[in-house]
Amino acid sequence: MRHHLSPLRAMDLLMAILSLVSVGLVSARWFGVATPQTMQLFYDIDSLICYIFLAHFAYGWLRATDRWGFLKANWFYLPGSLPMVESLRWARLIQLWRVYQLLRNQPDLLAMFRRERNETTLSGILLLFFLLLGVGSGVMFWIEAGHPGSQIETPYDAFWWTLVTLSTVGYGDLVPKTEQGRFVASLLILFGVGLYAAVSGFMASLFLQPGHGEKREEELRFKQLQTQQTQMLAELQSLRDEIRQLKRAP
């Protein structure tokens, strides 16, 4: 979330995707398309998305140079980010509309991804994690639920097992019993290890890069050099004009 005049960022795209998922979860709850247990899981996942939106809003507010201006430009995103009021979650469509307006200007997405590499990497890791969590939970529940001797019998069981597997913790309290479930588990384990390596590499790159203060100092020095260069060019132009006037004088 940033000022409306700012260009599209990778994190904006991720928040738009999560907004779309959240609207889908709210719609499912309103129309009652699943069992009560599944509805409760949808509510809990949507509440988790709310906390992600609040963290994103707080991060943008802390980084903003004009915090009051940031609040005035983005305050209407807050109602849809409150986990306590489900009826206000339709307000997240505003985020989708903003991203649509920015995309309508046909921005250079590749240039944006290259320019904001850290943010793009973090957005990609989070998007892959949420995608694997959702798809893995659904597939594991579809395979294991109702099977004789299965330990994964509810959507909560599938969600908990997938979360533990992707995080590479592996408590072992729930395990798949079918061959298909074990095949899916092996894939999720490999993806979980890959995600863990990606997060570790991302964190290491942050420590190896120059700090924000150093970057700020470099930018200030560059601006000072530009100002000095402009002044020197202006003085040279003034000297040339004086020389021309002297040559024309009788």
Q: Is residue 178 within 8 Å of residue 147, measured between CB atoms? A: yes
Most trustworthy range by pLDDT among 99-103, 120-124, 217-221: 120-124
> Which residues have a Cβ under 8 Å from the Cβ of 21 and sit 6 or more positions away?
49, 130, 134
Q: Is the pLDDT of residue 5 over 60?
A: no
pLDDT at 195: 85
pLDDT at 170: 77
Alpha helix (H) ranges present in 105-154?
109-115, 117-144
Higher local confidence (pLDDT), 14 or 76: 14
Q: Is the pLDDT of residue 210 over 60?
A: no
Q: Is the pLDDT of residue 14 over 70?
A: yes
Higher local confidence (pLDDT), 219 or 127: 127
Higher local confidence (pLDDT), 10 or 143: 143
**Can you read off the two tokens belonging to residue 206?**
């942050």
Least confident of 62-71, 207-216, 239-248: 207-216
Question: Exposed, middle or buried by CB within 10 Å (0-12, 13-18, 19+), for 163?
Answer: middle
Higher local confidence (pLDDT), 244 or 161: 161
Question: Exposed, middle or buried by CB within 10 Å (0-12, 13-18, 19+), for 233?
Answer: exposed
Neighbours of 131 (CB within 10 A): 13
Alpha carbon 115 to chain centroid, angstroms = 16
Higher local confidence (pLDDT), 92 or 22: 22
**C-alpha span between 199 and 129 (Å, rounded):** 11
Nearest one of 123, 181, 126, 107 to 151, comparing CA atoms: 181
Least confident of 8-17, 83-92, 175-184, 198-207: 83-92
* Average pLDDT score over residue span 142-154: 86
> Which residues have a Cβ under 8 Å from the Cβ of 78 and sit 6 or more positions away?
57
